[in-house]
Chains A and B, each alone.
Chain A
Amino acid sequence: MAGNTVLIDTSLCTACRGCQVACKSWNELPAEKTVFGGSYENPPAFTPTTWTRVVFREADGQGVRWYFGKQQCMHCRDAVCVNMCPVQAAHRTALGTVDIDTGKCIGCGICQTYCPFQVPKVDKAAGKSRKCRLCFDRITNGLLPACVQACPSGALSFGSREEILARARERAGRLKQQGYPQAQVYGEKEMGGLHIIYVLTARPSQYGLPEEPKVSVSASVVAELLRPFQSLVAASAVFQWAEGAGRGKRTYS
């Protein structure tokens, strides 16, 4: 089962959220206490114990639409978290996915602040940043990622990036012919290319995805500043500054 990339074909997703539960089950993540706030979407954001979630977006223009998009770490090829992590806890694995070495992580939160997709979340009590690992333990042992394994409708599939991109282009092309003129592939070029590739039937923003995810200017500056620092103390000191500098400068919210 060689692969490092997940395809999310939103045209096939029914938002059953089997993926959300499978993620929690495999990764032994506890449930969160949530409330019904008027939407089916829950939990409302990523947390240290929620690594994937399905976004529900209603649109009421020319008839009602309801868009579903699974979100999780995008495993960017040009990953802000990897580039900025002062202690190299966030790193690229041999497969090309992005993982956080919790042994090294100091919980400084730089990845949380600068991720253009707002994915990593620091578990304050443990002092560790947590996020989707693309089931590194499963995919290196010949298993599908837990979310892909659980998907009943065929919306999720897994393979090499080339295979997945080819499949995505073919699907988007077909959807264009089947009445979805805005069908498109997302993740081919964004952030140097993602290891999560989407087939969307409408613009990315309809699915709660940034149209053009970018590294913020302040993130580049912080990255340069952090480069010489290796010790925890120094990193923490810089973080105090970086957190202030980064606030309000996210490229997408």
Chain B
Amino acid sequence: MTNHWIDYQNSDVIMAIGVNTAENHPVSMKWINRARARGAKLIAVDPRFTRTAAAADLHVPIRPGTDIAFLGGLINYALQNNLIQEEYVRNYTNASYLIHPDFAFHDGVFSGLDTNKYDKASWAYQTGPDGAVRKDPTLQDPQCVFQLLKKHYARYTPEKVSQITGCPVETFLKAAELFCSTGRPDKAGNILYAMGITQHTYGSQNVRAIAILQLLLGNIGIAGGGVNAQRGEANVQGSTDMALLYHYLPGYLGHPKAALHPTLKDYIEKETPKTSYWSNKPKFLVSLLKAWYGQAATADNDFAYDYLPKLDARDHSHISIFEHMAAGEIKGFFAWGQNPAVGGPQAMFERSALEKLDWMVVVDIFETETAAFWKRPGANPQSIKTEVFLLPAAISYEKEGSVANSGRWIQWRYKACDPPGEARSDLWIADRLYKAIRAEYEKGGVFPDPILNLTWDYGGAGEGEPDTSRVALEINGYDTATGSPLANFPALKDDGSTACGCWIYSGYYNDLNNPPCKKRQKEEAGIGTHPNWAYAWPLNRRILYNRCSSDPAGKPWNAAAPVIWWENGEWKRNDVPDFGWKAADGSMIPPEKSAANPFIMLPEGQGRLFAAAMADGPFPEHYEPVESPVANLLSRQQNNPVVVFLPSARKWTAAAVGEFPLVATTYRLSEHWQSGIMTRNSPWLNELMPEMFVEISPGLARKLGIASGDKVVVYNRRSAIIAKACVTPRLQPLVIGGQEVEVVGMPWHWGYQGLSAGPSANELTPHVGDANTNIPEYKAFLCAIRRA
């Protein structure tokens, strides 16, 4: 999130799109309700009438996978009706930048497409002889970003949006009028999103569309505004910060690639921008290497850079791992708090891929479907050779450590009770695992140095629990000479004198006696930033890009909820400034200086309406999901031209339009969580939501002769599952280009294990991925339904 949960109370219009906030993030409603008590409005954009829609002032039904059409329509509406916050756009975004004269867009494709990859040369900024970007502050040059943007989205008329999304024109216009009313400087529009936005073959572009809209309306960096990704797990923010994803090191440092970065010098030269805060990247990486390899990391050996594994040219995202596994290329696998047999797309394929492993270790609180894959319905255990180890894990209340929420607040959580039986904390398991592996490498090995020289001094002797505060100190960073904690990341050096396990966290545990992440003081007065409650990365900053909360001269756009503003020659602050505000000598840096680069993480320093960094185009463009019942009504380019289409997916993807007529989407319920392994073993929760079901419209039910509560078969080429029908007016057919299309929805919580076993919706989802991130397209695919 750019902002944080409590800040929702400052919003004037909240748009939930691709997120079912009332059902899946119940606490969000406390703050949304606070805003609504002041008169704020809530818009729920969702194919289904959800519990969020029930609370909303306006429900906007759109077909799954048409978010860019809808958001593009809002962008166009804001531009055509001059509802944008022009001074903000002119000063804080790249609207005035001139783009390469060869840049073009034709019939759904940007310039530079070479089969399934873009050559982005024509997407570059124009530069003058001095190397500086050429700009037109009047925003009139036809090659400036603003004009290109306007032209691109002029095609997204209300009528076209309606034809693509199925949302009636009048409903779209109501949503557009309401949300674009936040383009006024003193109004805050907030966009919430989650997996309904990201899990598409153009999911990253869905997020980009949100960012563009928010920049145009001046809603970034202000209280009550933002682009707010709501995380679906208690600590998935923390996991991502710590490099859960394969292509990152902790703190979002790109993982070194074998071909590009064989040496530290290569990495630093190629990955360090000249401008922006990322120019400090060498300090972050060297401090990370010092944290990991300690004394063995010296300037002479490039701080043991060679110890880091390097990425090969192949993809290693979730769906690719399972393709490689199915091909027999992976021998061993850890499923640690993860249950791909239920949560992975094309689940039948992913389950069978596990059969190719020699061994698998599952660390979880119950025997998951993944752990039990060898005895799953239809499997013959005798023919499966995979050796499975199930390590019982402690749950959150049975261990201590930090948890980072969606708003980047790192909060310490204490242990309430001991885990049962042989269950142990993840840290204990990791500690024992390392020590056992180390013991093996002490006997010799191919390349033992990275293991033998790893810093691993967290205690945990014998059967004891390792000391979480020692781990926390390493993450926070310390002076390598004295061992004292670093105040925060501006103290990091690239000479080996500092060690830091995750630079963005630096500061969260800088006082061993009173670590900021353990603080619990409520704010007495202010705008709800609560600076002394927990610690928000980076630098305890609660609202990112907050220089944008005031105008170039430092006057707050909204005096009722100012974040940082210039008054009587100094910066007044309700938050930690996200810009250079104080010189080394303590004097205040005047607002004109920071107005030129309020986005300090970007080399150009200004928000990107046009983003050449994307793999699939500098502007989001509407494409159809890989499985769609209709042709793209906006261009002849049916799908994202650089979609990641994995080999197994081709086999099982609907070939002919009409073969499977129903658009399906998946979702979660308040009553269950993720793959259900925790909640489907809780009888109280099973009482509330006892069985797998599929939601269908009354019209479709009539056509198929189905009554609510009947058993039905939901099927496509990938699988067929039996579920109970939930016939409800909360789902209605949508008219797409004159054709009525039925949408059906299924929760994905069930699997063959647990107290409430049931079929998995993910047996029906495809193995196709987003062009930038490879996230699978769970949220829009095709199926058919018949009576069971």
Q: A11-36 toward B: CB 8 Å interface, digit per residue (1/0)?
A: 01011111011001100001111111
Which of chain B's residues have a CB closer than 8 A to the CB of A21?
A: 684-685, 688
Q: B601-643 toward A: CB 8 Å interface, digit per residue (1/0)?
A: 0000000000000000000000000000000000000000000
Cβ of B728 and Cβ of A58 under 8 Å apart? yes
Q: Of A37, A64, A153, which one neighbours B30 at CB under 8 angstroms?
A: A153
Interface size class of A (residues with CB under 8 A): 35 or more
Cβ of B689 and Cβ of A14 under 8 Å apart? no
| Shortest distance from the beta carbon of B707 to any chain A beta carbon, whole Å | 8
Q: Does B104 count as interface, using CB distance less than 8 angstroms?
A: no
Q: Does A229 count as interface, using CB distance less than 8 angstroms?
A: no
Which of chain B's residues have a CB closer than 8 A to the CB of A210?
A: none
Which of chain A's residues have a CB closer than 8 A to the CB of B39?
A: 178
A24→B671 CA distance, assembly (Å): 14
Interface centre among B23, B57, B729, by most A CB within 10 Å? B729
Q: Chain A interface mostly helix, strand, loop or mixed?
A: loop
Q: B1-45 toward A: CB 8 Å interface, digit per residue (1/0)?
A: 000000000000000000000110011011001100101000000
Which of chain A's residues have a CB closer than 8 A to the CB of B689?
A: 36, 40, 42
Q: Does B257 count as interface, using CB distance less than 8 angstroms?
A: no
User: Known contacts A36-B724, A58-B728, A153-B33: does B688 contact A17 (CB below 8 Å)?
Assistant: yes
| Shortest distance from the beta carbon of B675 to any chain A beta carbon, whole Å | 19
Q: Does A140 count as interface, using CB distance less than 8 angstroms?
A: no
Q: B442-483 toward A: CB 8 Å interface, digit per residue (1/0)?
A: 000000000000000000000000000000000000000000
Which of chain A's residues have a CB closer than 8 A to the CB of B52?
A: 14
Which of chain A's residues have a CB closer than 8 A to the CB of B691?
A: 35-36
User: Known contacts A32-B687, A58-B730: does B54 contact A16 (CB below 8 Å)?
Assistant: no
Q: Count of A-B contacts with CB under 8 A?
A: 107
Cβ of B688 and Cβ of A66 under 8 Å apart? no
A20→B683 CA distance, assembly (Å): 13
A34→B636 CA distance, assembly (Å): 50
Cβ of A31 and Cβ of B686 under 8 Å apart? yes
Which of chain A's residues have a CB closer than 8 A to the CB of B34?
A: 154
Cβ of A36 and Cβ of B670 under 8 Å apart? no
| Shortest distance from the beta carbon of B217 to any chain A beta carbon, whole Å | 24
Which of chain B's residues have a CB closer than 8 A to the CB of A35?
A: 690-691, 709
Cβ of A16 and Cβ of B725 under 8 Å apart? no
Q: Does A38 count as interface, using CB distance less than 8 angstroms?
A: yes
Interface of chain A residues 135 through 178 with chain B (CB within 8 A): 152-154, 174, 178
Cβ of B22 and Cβ of A16 under 8 Å apart? yes
Cβ of A65 and Cβ of B54 under 8 Å apart? yes
Q: Which residue of the partner chain A has the closest CB to B48? A: A64
Q: Does A179 count as interface, using CB distance less than 8 angstroms?
A: yes
Which of chain B's residues have a CB closer than 8 A to the CB of A58?
A: 728-730
| Shortest distance from the beta carbon of B95 to any chain A beta carbon, whole Å | 37
Q: Does B284 count as interface, using CB distance less than 8 angstroms?
A: no
User: Known contacts A36-B724, A58-B730: does B684 contact A14 (CB below 8 Å)?
Assistant: no
| Shortest distance from the beta carbon of A206 to any chain B beta carbon, whole Å | 12
Q: Does A43 count as interface, using CB distance less than 8 angstroms?
A: yes
Cβ of B23 and Cβ of A36 under 8 Å apart? no
A60→B54 CA distance, assembly (Å): 12
Q: Does B51 count as interface, using CB distance less than 8 angstroms?
A: yes
Which of chain A's residues have a CB closer than 8 A to the CB of B55?
A: 12, 14
Q: Does A39 count as interface, using CB distance less than 8 angstroms?
A: yes
Which of chain B's residues have a CB closer than 8 A to the CB of A174?
A: 37
| Shortest distance from the beta carbon of B676 to any chain A beta carbon, whole Å | 14
Q: Does A46 count as interface, using CB distance less than 8 angstroms?
A: no
A63→B29 CA distance, assembly (Å): 23
Q: Which residue of the partner chain A has the closest CB to B669? A: A40
| Shortest distance from the beta carbon of B700 to any chain A beta carbon, whole Å | 14
Q: A43-84 toward B: CB 8 Å interface, digit per residue (1/0)?
A: 100000000000000101001111110000000000000000
Residue ranges of B at the interface with A (Cβ–Cβ < 8 Å)? 22-23, 26-27, 29-30, 33-34, 37, 39, 49, 51-55, 57, 59, 670-671, 683-693, 707-709, 724-730, 732
Can you report 13 residue pairs joining A to B where beta carbons are below 8 Å apart?
Answer: A14-B22, A14-B23, A15-B54, A21-B684, A36-B690, A36-B724, A38-B708, A58-B729, A64-B730, A65-B54, A68-B51, A152-B26, A153-B30
